[in-house]
Structure 1
């Protein structure tokens, strides 16, 4: 099972997209990468860090375990088209953790920053301590950022497409361009931008709704909404509570299963059915 943390950065990102990338990768360097990079020095794991500034440019490689963070930080601040840090257990064919950013699909100045767990960590969806660490990572990475959207989900496609992009047939670039007008989707953790938090009555109103295990206002704008204590506990009922609470800022339309991605989770109802919901 895969576990995906994905956040949309846009022109409203505090300090620009480049600073958002620096915060994302810099926070990941502490957790979850810190302990793994220590193990690389012991030969237990291998890592690869790269940036690509634009199509046709030379791909640069960095050795984080040898202390080259300052060099990759400078590259990230310039807003590369893609950036990646992959950590493999020695001899493994796929990474256990992958930190990623790309502007290819969402189009500059936007970027999608992601954290994938593909190994043993992805199986910890029922581990309350691990889930708390995930949320703490997001809060730390996003406090200086003012994100446009974010989500955490398990067992769903690793892609820039949010769940409503798939089931409402929305183009990713349009979804990203409108992310501060209509929420791109919802998940176990949903990051709601400042503009839509205000439209929902503010963080206090969202906490009073009772739909969420935890509501965290972000320092530079936006709110993190954690539906249940653990990812494994994100039941269909919990998803429906999230959907109904966020319906006023969700795009209208009757969702349908995407045959290419049948594992995408969603509530099979039009947000417009709910009071004030499904603006279009």
Structure 2
């Protein structure tokens, strides 16, 4: 499992009556799978397009030439060295988990409601208890906590017609490193 990706929302996952139960089923299934392998990356996100994460899709290649590292044809094979993206649930490769300080350090940032080592390597990170609570405000501390694992930076927001909203911090990780909670 070099990479796993699940696109939410499904109507059931965001429905006020069924959302919490549906989300819990997805979380359980995804966590069980992640514990079986040594994952390089995974996420449950509101955005997926052609296998790209929001971070990969939103890099402005004209503004940031040479940022091919944000292209999935490059990042999937290097997901143990470069974080592909982040979202409501992010599965971080073990090598990157060490770079950001591990579960205890990540929990101390306040960015996550859950951060734990996976059984066979890597780390499970969940930003909010409920998917419906994951928004731009919740994504900022996640981004800042994961800065040491990231590279490159997104360009200006560009919302594609018919796509779910992109929840992403539009800042270069290198510039945000000084703002990282410790």
CA distance in 2, matches of 1:118, 1:267: 20
SS at match of 2:116: strand
| Distance of aligned partners of 1:114 and 1:167 in 2 relative to their CA distance in 1, 3 Å threshold | closer
Which residue of structure 2 aligns with residue 131 of structure 1?
23
State whether structure 2 residue 144 is matched by structure 1 residue 144.
no
| Distance of aligned partners of 1:120 and 1:216 in 2 relative to their CA distance in 1, 3 Å threshold | same
Say which of 162, 176, 180 aligns to 1:274. 176
Give the number of the structure whose alpha-carbon radius of gyration is greater. Answer: 1
Which residue of structure 1 aligns with residue 54 of structure 2?
163
Say which of 256, 265, 272 aligns to 2:167. 265
Which residue of structure 1 aligns with residue 153 of structure 2?
253
Taking the TM superposition and a 5 Å limit, the aligned residue runs for 1:135-214 are 135-154=27-46, 156-168=47-59, 169=61, 170-214=70-114
State whether structure 2 residue 133 is matched by structure 1 residue 233.
yes
| Distance of aligned partners of 1:212 and 1:119 in 2 relative to their CA distance in 1, 3 Å threshold | closer
CA distance in 2, matches of 1:246, 1:157: 20
| Distance of aligned partners of 1:220 and 1:273 in 2 relative to their CA distance in 1, 3 Å threshold | same
Q: Which runs of 5+ in 1 are unaligned?
A: 1-8, 11-111
| Per-residue CA distance 1:122-180 (angstroms, 9 max, x = gap) | 434883333232221111111011111111123x3453101111012522111112211
SS at match of 1:274: helix
Is the 1:248–1:274 contact (alpha carbons within 8 Å) kept by the matching residues of 2?
A: no
SS at match of 2:38: coil
Say which of 117, 122, 127 aligns to 1:217. 117
Normalising by the residue count of structure 2, what TM-score does the alignment of the two structures yield?
0.79
Number of aligned residue pairs: 167
Is the 2:109–2:141 contact (alpha carbons within 8 Å) kept by the matching residues of 1?
A: no
Shift of 1:231: 0.7
| Per-residue CA distance 1:77-97 (angstroms, 9 max, x = gap) | xxxxxxxxxxxxxxxxxxxxx
SS at match of 2:156: coil
Is the 2:93–2:122 contact (alpha carbons within 8 Å) kept by the matching residues of 1?
A: yes
Higher strand proportion? 1
Where relative contact order (Cα < 8 A, 6+ residues apart) is larger, the structure is: 2
SS at match of 1:275: helix
Q: Which runs of 5+ in 2 are unaligned?
A: 62-69
Is the 1:212–1:226 contact (alpha carbons within 8 Å) kept by the matching residues of 2?
A: yes
SS at match of 2:131: coil
CA RMSD of aligned residues (A): 2.5
Normalising by the residue count of structure 1, what TM-score does the alignment of the two structures yield?
0.53
Shift of 1:245: 0.6
Shift of 1:259: 5.5
CA distance in 2, matches of 1:212, 1:115: 19
Shift of 1:252: 2.2
